[in-house]
Each structure stands twice: as C-alpha cells, then as structure tokens.
Amino acid sequence: MTLTGKQARYLRGLGHHLKPVVMIGKDEVNEAIIAATDEALTIHELIKVKLQEGCVANRKDVAAELATATDSSVAQILGRNILLYREGEEKTIKLPAVK
C-alpha cells in the first residue's frame, strides 16, 4: 500500500508521541526483528522502530526491507526512527480519503 502525502502527514502526527516498540541493533534486520515488527503492526497498526547506535546499515534500506517483509508502508524516516503503518483488520486508524 502506498500512502499519499496527506495520509503520511496524518500518520506522522499520530506517530509523534509514540515510543519505539522495535529496536534494531548490531544484528540489523533478521527473522526475529521481522517477526517482532509484524506482531507489533498487527497489534498497533502504527509503530515506531528505533535504529540503535550499533546498527550501521543505511536507515532507508532498513525501512524498505522491513516494509517489504511485513507488507507495511513507511510513513516517515526521521533521524534514527522509522514510522511504519499497516492497516489492521479492525482499522483503528482512519486515514484521510484518497481523491
């Protein structure tokens, strides 16, 4: 799912106060990280992922890899934080309509 600019802005506003629920360290992206991210997205729809100091991978590559592996969308990459969104079955977040 590709987010429109308006939808991404809306999600960034919602994600501003979130605490990171997934931390990526020196092991970078592996099966455990993907599973944890997938589970967090199932529960929360919108999550913040933090790249710790030990992670030397490019943040954009990490964001793209996680988004592809979890079938989610990148709403924002800011500093060492990545905001991921995946629509849940119960849809607790209502996105602005696409025109």
What digits encode the pLDDT tens for the residues 21-42?
999 998 888 999 999 999 999 9
pTM: 0.91
Place 79 in a pLDDT band, splitting at 50, 70 and 90. very high
pLDDT score for 77: 95
Please say if the pLDDT value at position 71 is more than 80: yes
Cβ-based neighbours of 36, under 8 Å, separated by 6 or more: 22
Under CATH, which number does the domain 5-85 receive?
3.30.110.60
pLDDT tens per residue, range 13-23 = 999 999 999 99
Cα separation, 98 vs 48, whole angstroms: 24
Cβ-based neighbours of 51, under 8 Å, separated by 6 or more: 24, 57, 59, 62, 80, 81, 82
